[in-house]
Chain A
Amino acid sequence: MKTLMLSAALCLAASGALAGKAFVSNERGNTITVLDTETWEVITEFAGGNRPRGITLSPDGTLLYVCASDDDTVRVFDTETYEELYTLPSGPDPELFVLDRSGSPLYIANEDDNLVTVTDTQTHTILAEVPVGVEPEGMAISPDHRWVVNTSETTNMAHFISTVDYQIKHNILVDQRPRYAEYLDDGTRLFVSSEIGGTVSVIDIAEDGTPTLTQKIGFEVPGVLPEWLQPVGVKATSDGSRIFVALGPANRVAVIDGTSLEVIDYIMVGQRVWQMAFTPGEEYLLTTNGNSNDVTIIDVTAEKAIKSVQVGQQPWGVAITPN
């Protein structure tokens, strides 16, 4: 009997890992929606704290981290049972964060306090608080772990923080209201979206990590007012061949050729598209659409939207379990 139960448990664990799950934070509904990434069915929806926004997973996919902005904490959930395990100190109003690929630390943007908080996910302690510009939001970590980038929405800078001493070593001015930062997997380039500026800044990274702003990518869609083309989420494929940019109230995701840096297509998605995540093999790209309360699933190879799934109220971020 015991053996049977054990193997049943193993089976469950195995099928769980195979199916894959997407976790969507619903900013207004205060919930997390769980999607099955094979069937695209909603598995469940559970309470995520007050104003859940930034969302990410531990490298092994067992822990879900959620910025519960209005609770001034990071909530940690079990990705199988959806139970809240504990909270992590985050500093006030955590909005978005990035987890070191080793699983710790967590670098958290504190939107109201002009800080990036560095939190050890093992000891649950704050390692450092780094003063940054006004309204920090976008967070990225260089593939070699040496740099954490934070974008500040009102200061309009990308701050490059050394992970050795947590000091800012470089600042790059970008266009108005930078929301998101995304490194290429080889670490040679960083993209920063500017929501109100309407551009994506291309920042090339030298061997020693020194950043240089090389160009800005603009957007143009016939019949859509330029004011509505507001870049927010940015995702690059691991080979760097395609960069996807969520355009907010333009209800489109732009597809950029990674070599020419030209916009080659716009994919229609739901309303007010903000954040995005790839499935592990990069077959699909999920977008959160805050005004239509749904998630659009994009077939990455075909560069087409194939499905949309209703989630909770005002979906903000999305994280998908690794293989």
Chain B
Amino acid sequence: MPKNLVPLLAAAALGIAACLAAPSARAVEVRAGVLRVDYPTLLPISRYDARPEDLDFAGAVLADEDNATTGSFLGHTYKTENAAVPPEGALEALDTMLADGIRYVVVDAQAVELLALADRAAEAGALVLNASAPDVALRGAECRANLLHVAPSFAMKADAVAQFAIWKKWPRWLLVSGSNPEDRALAEAYRRAAKKFGAKIVEEREFEDTGGARRTDTGHALVQRQLPTFLQRAKDHDVLIAADATDYFAAYLPYHLWTPRPVMGSAGLRPVTMHGAHEAWGATQFQTRFEKLARRHVTEADYNTWLALRVLGEAVTRTGSDDPAEIESYILSDAFELAAFKGQKVTFRDWNGQLRQPILLYDDRITVSVSPQEGFLHQVSPLDTLGLDRPESDCTAFQ
């Protein structure tokens, strides 16, 4: 946050007033794309986690409807194209969108493809909204000036779990992580969170990915024998933190521990942006609207896509513009705010393009808690206690 906070806020307030007066009847046609990269994956551990065919796209349809309803009073129209492609087809799909005149692209892809897409989009002056990639580096050294992150980083989610553990006075953690690079990156986020909030990782164990059994072939019998022995004789701990970003073992952890302890992280109490049972802060309306459209419960991916397009819609509503540079500068300004069924406005970090948002802690049935937790304070916003704060970020693209 700049030094002269107060005058700046006052200026921002004036800015809002100016914008309020501004949205004229000027017709604006907002065209966006949702680009989903489908990677070859194994079946998930649980059938409940099967990827619906309209993943992301259902969120986009709802966002288009929401934006179009608001736009109808201002002369703004919204149209969003969808594409689901394999990794090797990602750039081509983007090129098609760009050639079609689309300058706002919501991307659900891993870091490598996301960066390639963002760089290609930059050449066309297009803005990319990251709806899934959680890599901390994308918000740091690898950040891009035309890449905004609606999805939270591993760091934000790990911090959300860590704050809850500290609030519960469960500072002694047994960290169990997977052996894939993504799992190790997530484990690193938990190590950082432990240090940041004063928890102690008393011991770490890595559960190697050997391509083990799924429950379909009576894998559960093996799991029941293997996991407790894998976890025996651990140092005294209050909670087990699971770091399994690739979803191959964490779901088996609860009830298969050696020492009975709560599980948090990739199983048990999980940090999510949204889930289908969340009702607080008017979210019931969001859920019923989504279910009416999609005939299923919302997933994080759908919510992230919806939110990305709502960010765009809100910026268009307030500025009356469809120029990507103007839209991005408004999104990153202090004037931008958006209600996202999270109980407080969501805004953007102007130093790395990350959306600030509360993280729901979900036990696969209800919202157990919401971070940031009470008592975790910050000079700018309690939301900045989650993830990379300005001084920690080595992102320079926004300077």
Contact = CB atoms under 8 A, between A and B. Distances in A.
Interface stretch (B30-38, B66-74, B165-173): B66-74
Given A111-B285, A173-B20, A176-B339, A133 B73 contact: yes
Contacts of B13: 216
Contact of A133 (B69, B292, B339, B381): B69
Interface in A142-181: 152-157, 159, 168, 171-173, 175-177
A268 interface: no
Interface string A162-206: 000000100111011100000000000000000111100000000
Contacts of B70: 133-134, 152, 154-157
Contacts of A93: 288
Nearest to A173: B20
Which bracket fits the contact residues of A? 20 to 34
A197 B13 CA distance: 12
Given A173-B23, A176-B339, A197 B345 contact: yes
A134 B66 contact: yes
Contacts of B343: 196, 227, 249
Contacts of B381: 227
A155 B23 contact: no
B337 A175 contact: yes
B69 A134 contact: yes
B337 A176 contact: yes
A153 B318 contact: no
Which bracket fits the contact residues of B? 20 to 34
Interface in B280-305: 282, 285, 288-289, 292
A112 B288 contact: yes
Given A134-B66, A156-B70, A177-B282, A197 B337 contact: yes
A216 B13 CA distance: 9
Nearest to A249: B343
Nearest to B68: A134
A213 B20 contact: yes
Interface of A: 93, 111-112, 114, 131, 133-135, 152-157, 159, 168, 171-173, 175-177, 195-198, 213, 216, 225, 227, 249
Interface of B: 13, 17, 20, 23, 65-66, 69-70, 72-74, 282, 285, 288-289, 292, 317-318, 337-339, 343-345, 381-382
7 contacts: A133-B69, A134-B69, A135-B285, A153-B285, A156-B317, A157-B73, A198-B345
Lowest 9 CB-CB distances: which A-B pairs, in order?
A196-B339, A155-B70, A176-B339, A227-B344, A177-B339, A171-B73, A134-B66, A134-B69, A196-B345
Given A173-B20, A177-B282, 13 more contacts: A93-B288, A133-B73, A134-B65, A155-B66, A155-B69, A157-B70, A159-B73, A168-B73, A176-B337, A176-B339, A196-B337, A227-B344, A249-B343
